């Protein structure tokens, strides 16, 4: 572990104090600089991905030493974890499988590049077909050997870990970690659309107060309301869920996707243009839009970039409301009201348009009472 790092953002509160209620924005290193003016300096930060993430981290921290920045090497996008080699990363010279000393070196390398904290380069953890959670336990066991207080253990898991007996294994593993744990839920689309996953995530958050939810979407707010330590929301659709490295065809073309806060939903701009050609256009008062119409974003590079800045501002506006409420019942009540309002706005828009505006099924789940935490022996 590196001691007495210049500009150490942890101060006397430690890593949990640094991450508590913090909303990081997960972004590719190529897009990070333009996003910086829209990052909340007090309760926000950046989680960088991409080939040059470590170098970009150093550059940003040199210029903005008070900004919380960390790096996800993204090894989980390339390899599946095994009991013997659960950690690794892809570099220009090929794949690096890490033993314990290599893991320490990788973590120290992140801090040498001025990351606010280190993140284990964990490979993808597939579904627990044998029911013994061997790979998951291997990640936690090896990470627990790290004699350091500056590290987050990354768990990039299949969505199936949030259901049935696998959920109990996951709760036990997160509780057994000596470090905060960041969960990434894998699915080809939205993991919360799978049966039982939204409920399992709530149970996990209520059962594990040192849990972080990363690479997610508006589920970040449900997680924080239910006791998660912190979260990281992806700036693009590809960074709002995990990926199985065994699946092919991950090509992606950037296009403007707009967070409509009143609906708690990301929409492609052509959907908004279709709606607001027929009814009074909705406007946005965020620092990027300044009262402009939500349907104005173009498919140009500049339009995509501006929509991402808008989304970031809206996320932090919601986040500011959430952290202004006391953790526990007050925060839960705030979130339930936000969800109820979003469902009502869907119904109102349906009436205005004269056609059904489908709302995300997860909104109905988020209206339900919260499940209890898991009691472990």
pLDDT confidence of residue 251? 57
For a pLDDT cut of 90, what percent of the chain falls above it?
Answer: 91
Mean pLDDT across 345-363:
95
Please tell me the distance from the alpha carbon of residue 187 to that of residue 344, in angstroms, as a whole number: 29
Phi-psi region of 354 (alpha: psi -120 to 50; beta: other; left: phi over 0): left
pLDDT digits (tens, 9 = 90+) for 36-52: 999 999 999 999 999 99
pLDDT confidence of residue 10? 72
Please tell me the distance from the alpha carbon of residue 247 to that of residue 244, in angstroms, as a whole number: 6
Q: Mark out the alpha helices in the chain (DSSP H runs).
A: 14-19, 32-35, 53-63, 100-112, 134-144, 164-176, 197-207, 219-225, 269-275, 301-324, 329-353, 361-366
3 state SS of 363: helix
Question: Quick one: which of 78, 31, 19 has its CA closest to 234?
Answer: 31
- Which phi and psi (to 5°) does residue 184 adopt? -115, 125
Mean pLDDT across 144-158:
98
Please give the residue that has the higher pLDDT: either 3 or 365.
365
Which CATH fold topology does 14-239 show? TIM Barrel (3.20.20)
Mean pLDDT across 348-353:
98
Tokens of 284: 């946005």
Mean pLDDT across 6-35:
88
Question: Quick one: which of 223, 230, 173 has its CA closest to 202?
Answer: 223
pLDDT digits (tens, 9 = 90+) for 210-255: 999 999 999 999 999 999 999 999 999 999 999 999 886 555 677 8
- Mean pLDDT (the chain) is 95
The bridge status of strand 88-91 relative to strand 94-97 is antiparallel
pLDDT confidence of residue 13? 77
Confidence of residue 5 (pLDDT cuts 50, 70, 90): very low
Mean pLDDT across 269-280:
97
- Which phi and psi (to 5°) does residue 374 adopt? -80, 130
In contact, 47 and 214? CB cutoff 8 Å = yes
Give the number of other Cβ atoms within 10 Å of residue 79's Cβ.
Answer: 19
> Is residue 123 pLDDT above 50, yes or no?
yes
SS3 content of the chain, % helix, strand, coil (to 5): 45, 20, 40
Instruction: CATH 3.20.20 in the chain: give the residue spans.
Output: 14-239
Mean pLDDT across 248-270:
86
Mean pLDDT across 90-118:
97
> Is residue 323 pLDDT above 80, yes or no?
yes
Mean pLDDT across 300-316:
98
Please tell me the distance from the alpha carbon of residue 23 to that of residue 230, in angstroms, as a whole number: 6
The partner residues of 27 in beta bridges, in order of sequence, read: 48
Q: Which segments within 159-296 are labelled E, that is strand?
A: 181-186, 211-216, 230-234, 257-260, 265-268
pLDDT confidence of residue 4? 42
> Is residue 1 pLDDT above 80, yes or no?
no
pTM beyond cutoff 0.85: yes
Listed in sequence order, the residues at least 6 apart from 109 whose beta carbon sits closer than 8 Å to its beta carbon are 54
pLDDT confidence of residue 224? 99
């Amino acid at each position: 572990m590196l001691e007495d790092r210049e500009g150490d953002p942890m101060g006397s509160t430690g890593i949990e104090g640094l991450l508590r209620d913090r909303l990081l924005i997960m972004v590719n290193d190529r897009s990070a600089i333009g996003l910086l003016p829209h990052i909340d300096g007090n309760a926000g930060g950046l989680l960088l991905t991409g080939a040059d993430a470590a170098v970009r981290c150093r550059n940003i921290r040199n210029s903005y030493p008070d900004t919380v920045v960390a790096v996800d090497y993204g090894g989980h996008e390339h390899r599946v974890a095994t009991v013997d080699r659960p950690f690794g990363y892809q570099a220009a010279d090929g794949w690096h499988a890490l033993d314990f000393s290599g893991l320490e070196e990788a973590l120290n390398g992140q801090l040498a590049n001025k990351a606010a904290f280190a993140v284990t380069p964990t490979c993808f953890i597939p579904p627990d077909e044998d029911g013994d959670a061997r790979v998951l336990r291997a990640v936690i066991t090896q990470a627990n050997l790290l004699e350091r207080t500056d590290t987050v253990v990354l768990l990039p898991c299949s969505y199936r870990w949030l259901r049935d007996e696998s959920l109990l294994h996951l709760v036990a593993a997160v509780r057994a970690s000596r470090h905060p744990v960041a969960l990434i839920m894998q699915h080809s689309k939205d993991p919360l659309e799978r049966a039982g996953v939204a409920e399992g995530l709530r149970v996990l958050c209520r059962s594990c107060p040192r849990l972080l939810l990363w690479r997610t979407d508006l589920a970040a707010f449900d997680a924080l309301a239910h006791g998660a330590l912190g979260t990281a929301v992806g700036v693009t659709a590809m960074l709002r869920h995990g990926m199985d490295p065994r699946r092919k065809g991950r090509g992606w073309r950037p296009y403007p996707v707009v967070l409509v806060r009143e609906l708690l939903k990301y929409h492609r701009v052509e959907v908004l243009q279709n709606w607001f050609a027929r009814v009074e256009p909705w406007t946005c008062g965020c620092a990027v839009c300044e009262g402009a119409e939500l349907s104005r974003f173009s498919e140009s590079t500049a339009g995509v970039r501006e929509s991402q800045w808008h989304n970031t501002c809206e996320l932090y506006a919601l986040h500011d409301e959430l952290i202004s409420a006391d953790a526990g019942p007050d925060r839960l009540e705030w979130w339930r009201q936000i969800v109820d309002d979003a469902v009502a706005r869907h119904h109102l828009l349906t009436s205005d348009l004269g056609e059904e505006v489908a709302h995300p099924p997860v909104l109905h789940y988020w209206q339900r009472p919260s499940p209890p935490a898991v009691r472990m022996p």
